Amino acid sequence: METLLIKNAQVVRADNQLSQTDVLIRGNKISEMAPKLVVKADRVLDAGGHLLTPGLVDVHVHFREPGFEYKETIHTGSQAAARGGFTTVLAMPNVKPVPSTEQTLRNLQARNVKEGIVHIEQYAAISANLTDPKINDLKKLAAAGAIAFTNDGKGVQTAATMKDAMQAAVAVDRPLVAHVEDDSLIKGGVMNAGKRAAELGLPGMDPLAESAQLARDLVLAKVTGVHYHVAHLSTAESVALVRMAKQAGVKVTAEVSPHHLLLDETAIDGDNAMFKMNPPLRTPADRSAVLAGLLDGTIDMVATDHAPHSKEEKDRSFVGAAFGITGIETSFQLLYTHLVRPGLVTLAQLLSWMVTKPVAAFKLSAPTKVAVGERADLALFDLDQAHTISADEFASKGQNTPFIGQTVYGQTLATIVDGKLVYQTQA
Ligand SMILES: NC(=O)N[C@@H](CC(=O)O)C(=O)O
Ligand SMILES: [Zn+2]
Ligand SMILES: [Zn+2]
Write the CATH number for 412: 2.30.40.10
**What does the alpha-carbon distance between residue 84 and residue 81 come to, in Å, rounded to a whole number?**
5
Are both 59 and 75 inside the same structural domain? yes
Are both 211 and 303 inside the same structural domain? yes
Q: Would you call 392 a catalytic residue per the annotation?
A: no
Are both 254 and 331 inside the same structural domain? yes
- Cβ(207)–Cβ(252) below 8 Å: no
Angle, helices 208-224 vs 236-247, to 10°: value is 10
C-alpha distances out from residue 201 to 46, 192, 193, 271, 298, Å: 54, 12, 11, 9, 34
Are both 179 and 315 inside the same structural domain? yes
Averaged over 233-248, what is the pLDDT?
Answer: 99
Residues paired with 58 in a beta bridge: 89
Answer whether residue 148 is part of any domain: no
pLDDT bin (cut points 50, 70, 90) of residue 13 is: confident
Question: Exposure pattern of 59-85 as b/e (b: 16+ CB <10 Å)?
Answer: bbbbbbbeebeebbbbbbbbbbbbbbb
Single-letter amino acid, residue 195: K
Binding residues: 60, 62-64, 94, 152, 179, 232, 278, 305, 309, 323-324
Residue 223 is inside which H or E element, if any?
Answer: helix 208-224
Question: E strands of 62-144, at which residues?
Answer: 86-91, 119-122
Taking the centre of ligand 2 as the mean of its atom positions, its distance from the CA of residue 130, in whole angstroms, is 11
Q: What is the tally of helices (H) and strands (E) in the chain? A: 13, 20
Taking the centre of ligand 2 as the mean of its atom positions, its distance from the CA of residue 263, in whole angstroms, is 18
> What is the extent of the structural domain holding 263?
55-86+167-361
Domain final residue, candidates 336, 361, 386:
361
Domain final residue, candidates 340, 361, 382:
361
**Atom 10, ligand 1: residue with shortest CA distance:** 307
Taking the centre of ligand 2 as the mean of its atom positions, its distance from the CA of residue 246, in whole angstroms, is 22
- Cβ(227)–Cβ(249) below 8 Å: no
Q: Each residue of 177-187: pLDDT tens digit?
A: 999 999 999 99
Are both 64 and 209 inside the same structural domain? yes
Q: What is the pLDDT of residue 427?
A: 58
Are both 212 and 348 inside the same structural domain? yes
Q: Of 182, 286, 300, 305, which one is the catalytic site residue?
A: 305
Q: Each residue of 101-117: pLDDT tens digit?
A: 999 999 999 999 999 99
Are both 259 and 304 inside the same structural domain? yes
pTM for this predicted structure = 0.98
Q: Which of 61, 63, 278, 310 to mutate to test the pocket of ligand 1 (most atoms within 8 A of CB)?
A: 278
- Cβ(261)–Cβ(335) below 8 Å: yes
pLDDT bin (cut points 50, 70, 90) of residue 422 is: very high
Averaged over 275-287, what is the pLDDT?
Answer: 98
Q: Which numbered ligand comes closest to the C-alpha of 323?
A: 1
- Cβ(112)–Cβ(91) below 8 Å: yes
Q: What is the pLDDT of residue 15?
A: 86
Single-letter amino acid, residue 303: A
Q: Each residue of 105-160: pLDDT tens digit?
A: 999 999 999 999 999 999 999 999 999 999 999 999 999 999 999 999 999 999 99
* CATH assignment of the domain containing 242: 3.20.20.140
Answer whether residue 135 is part of any domain: no
Q: Each residue of 323-348: pLDDT tens digit?
A: 999 999 999 999 999 999 999 999 99
C-alpha distances out from residue 61 to 94, 206, 271, 275, 315, Å: 10, 25, 26, 18, 22
Are both 184 and 258 inside the same structural domain? yes
Backbone phi and psi for residue 340, each to the nearest 5 degrees, phi listed first: -80, -50
Backbone phi and psi for residue 207, each to the nearest 5 degrees, phi listed first: -65, -15
Averaged over 79-97, what is the pLDDT?
Answer: 99
**What does the alpha-carbon distance between residue 157 and residue 182 come to, in Å, rounded to a whole number?**
6
**What does the alpha-carbon distance between residue 314 and residue 71 come to, in Å, rounded to a whole number?**
11
Nearest residue to 301 via CA among 364, 380, 220: 364
- Cβ(254)–Cβ(241) below 8 Å: no
Query: Residue 426 pLDDT more than 80?
Result: no
**What does the alpha-carbon distance between residue 263 and residue 254 come to, in Å, rounded to a whole number?**
19
Query: Residue 67 pLDDT more than 70?
Result: yes
Are both 284 and 414 inside the same structural domain? no
**What does the alpha-carbon distance between residue 196 and residue 267 come to, in Å, rounded to a whole number?**
9
Are both 263 and 383 inside the same structural domain? no
* Residues whose beta carbon lies within 6 Å of some atom of ligand 1: 62, 94, 152-153, 179, 277-278, 305, 307, 323-324
Q: Which of 94, 263, 331 to mutate to test the pocket of ligand 1 (most atoms within 8 A of CB)?
A: 94
